[in-house]
Structure 1
């Protein structure tokens, strides 16, 4: 058994949780103990710095996207509604793990209630499925906008977009609920120590002293359905888009459409590649160090929420223009309050601020 070293190392943390230790069998432990990143305990504070920076960028960037879309009427369309759904999902994903992870790194607060652990697990995996569904919806939007542009506004109306968003959320919630119900009913009689920064599904299920193959197979089924079918649908959509692009007569038109789709493709790759790598290393990478797997598991939950607003903010012309107008408008107000009526300011769409005296 490899759990013994962990038990010895954190035995002083288990006094309260193991007060009834005359028996070793407990169906629902009152608490679990999250170790953080075993083997890198001395570096926890240093690791927390990039984690905290990524979380701060994700919070700022996604709230900025939501604010810009809400305040700019010209952005009230299907593409930007899906982008807002993506921003909300990213906020939930990153917030579901980072506060607890940072409390482990900074304050050694390793305990987590059994119900809270299952809730965290549900939110993580549910909204991972939701985000995958949102990328499919965005691919559908790009397909209709490019392959059938005259019918785009009539096909993807606001009620249709709302129904797609509701279907994506319900799919994620329903697909992951059986995993949580199964995890709740297993008997846990080995240990309540989880060598991870958060309640990852397989890390928790491995602590059960029962045949948990049904949980493992169901988790595999969900991953194959989500990552497999969603990736296939996205791929087919972009094959059709590429056929239309290459049939365009001018190079400028092709470059314009490539620019429109490149931000979406970049976000898709940033989401699926780390997630797929983490899944494969956890199930088949027995020789992969545990700390490396835990770092990758955190990256696929932190990196997409951080870079998605950057990708869409930089590559989407309408969002970029709106941000520049907000920045220059605030700058104009600031300088006006400082210099009064002796100066005037002009902010154009390119973001240039011109200062000069009144004639």
Structure 2
């Protein structure tokens, strides 16, 4: 007889420890990054689930600082890869180098072999290089000279896109964007936040000498990753998630005909998987051992904005994808 294993109930002490670890990481992050609370949550969700994040913003909104701050907070190794049209796959994953003195080759691992990897302006790299990076993200390993090399754990990729420059860029194919768990769009800081940024620069907060002590160990991160996977998600909430994704594919029967007409393609099953995994992480960050519908709704823009493909009419009329997502969320009954 087949037996199904049910995850052990999360004890209050386990939940309290996980919350404390997450709070310590958040405080360390906030010591370096001003504002950007949604970005902090997105990065923590990615860290807890092993999902990768796509960030879109104009230059200068602390994407590199945020990635470095997260790596410092968890004692992780950080690497930044600046994408350019001439960047080769071997520049990312690594290559074999011939040692003339020994008469043999040795493997030099690429910068993707780190805990937190910032892939800056991914749309400036060629399709071949994008493919190599996305393969490493999916398989959690690289292959060099016929030998496989596992990537470290935890492993998180933050890829950035600059929306204001198109010259010399290669747009990410929709099927490849689907592999990112979340896509976040960063806003400009408020005047008060910008004043605080300048104050911190003047105070030397961002100098290498001011690197804060680690707030958590990599082992602690692995522990809360395992705990996040045990967060309970009720079948009614799963049906709610699947309902949201289903409506993206059959929008004409549920939302305003004009808005529905802007949708070229709906979201794939990866959206449902991303919703369920990310909602568990959000619940854990909020101190709960179960997912509620509000966790799912809070993620709707970040899970769907890069998976809902709008047609040319939507682009011509400058219809934001978030407006279509809001209509879809409003059309699905909350359990």
TM-score range relative to shorter protein: under 0.3
Q: TM-score, normalised by structure 1?
A: 0.22
Q: TM-score, normalised by structure 2?
A: 0.23
Instruction: Please identify the structure whose Cα radius of gyration is greater.
Output: 1
Q: Which has the higher strand share?
A: 2
Q: Which has the higher helix share?
A: 1
